[in-house]
Amino acid sequence: MSRVSGTNEPIPAQSTAASSRRHKIVVCKDLGPAMPLLTQRPDIEVVNWTEERRCDRAWLLQNISGASGLVVCFQDIIDRELVDAAGPNLRVVSTISVGYEHIALDVMAERKIQVGYTPDILTDAVADSAVMLALMATRAAGQSYTFVKNNQWPSFNWTPFAFCGPQLSTTSFSPTRTVGFLGFGRIAHAVLARLAAFGITHCIYSPRPEAAPQTERDAHLQTKHNLTEVAPVDLPALAARSDVLFILAPGGPATHHLIDAAFLRQMKPSSVLVNNGRGSVVDSIALAQALKEGWIWGAGLDVVDEEAIPGGVTAEHPLVCEPRCVVLPHIGSAAQETREEMARLTARNVIAGVLGEELPVALDYSHLGS
């Protein structure tokens, strides 16, 4: 059973005995074909935000009271205020994302609330989009597409070097290419596998400070993809050596604006930066300056720092205004099959949580204590 609301008015609680036996789940983002997993269960009552915009905070605070489960996306801030408004019944927060920076994990640990998320499922889709962005940025696809859309092609006087950019693949006359990764987990490995077909010769990455050396893994990747090198490097070397740098690191205080003006000044003038990780890792103002002044060649962005702010990425945003910067609206996992499976997992996670069962995919935040 479900009840829907797209207004700021709270949905009145039902007082029947049947209602009291059902678990209330508040859904901030419609899960499409996965919604029947929730709405067709007699033991679950769904309160659903139905509007085609981000869930209104006031609406959520009004309707969360008494909920056992909560379905959110990366746009919804789950903090102490919201958990307090929910009350003691809240058992699980299920987010349709691999990121969880929008969830106050210290509060979750304190209240013993499980957190479900959707890693792995989106690895291939995001890796595909990362390579797409690298190609778009290196070959000035955004700039040339705008040229055609603005009806400038008919009057274009062709010249040998118009719209030229650095080539992603190696050639007999340009036989080496180095890709760098800030964040070298599942998605980065999937990106590397795709880039092997382009003849990439060197792979460098910046390891987490606390991570143990992965020499055996790196040797395996080097052999598997026929590379000259797979190796960890420090941040200055990552900046200086990368022909294409992929940002796939998690967000949070430890990585906030790690890619700043000082880092970007160390990169090659022919280099390209691709961000499929978290917008907060890259200082937008510094990147815009780097593009404008030619510190780097171009950028392909699926995420931007300001997207967390409603109305933050407009046509006047400094990166949107840069002709050699391709900006996409956070669509890295937007393959139909992938999003459907993410939605199903999100639903299964919240159902398991409200029933007191083990989540299919739960975030481990035990290190935060209780």
Cα–Cα distance, 88 to 100 (Å, whole number): 22
φ, ψ of residue 50 to 5 degrees: the values are: -110, -10
- At 177, is the secondary structure helix, strand, or coil? coil
The answer to whether 198 and 164 are in contact (CB under 8 A) is no
CA atoms within 13 A on the CB side of 67: 28
Q: Which runs of consecutive H residues, i.e. helices, occur in the chain? A: 17-20, 36-39, 57-63, 80-86, 105-111, 123-138, 141-149, 186-195, 215-224, 235-241, 261-265, 284-292, 336-354
Residue 62 CB coordination number (10 Å): 16
82: left (phi over 0), alpha (psi -120 to 50) or beta: alpha
* Rounded Cα distance, 274 and 181, in Å: 10
Query: SS3 of 178, please?
Result: strand
- 330 counts as catalytic: yes
Which of the following is catalytic: 23, 202, 225, 330?
A: 330
Q: Phi then psi for 276, rounded to 5 degrees?
A: -115, 10
Residue 45 CB neighbours (<10 A): 26
Torsion-angle region of 257 (φ positive above 0: left; ψ -120 to 50: alpha; else: beta): left
- Name the DSSP letter for residue 65: T
Question: What is the CA angle 331-115-280, rounded to 5?
Answer: 45
Gap between the Cα atoms of 28 and 50, Å rounded: 8
> In the block, which residue shows the tokens 């606390």?
210
Q: Which active-site residues does the annotation give?
A: 330
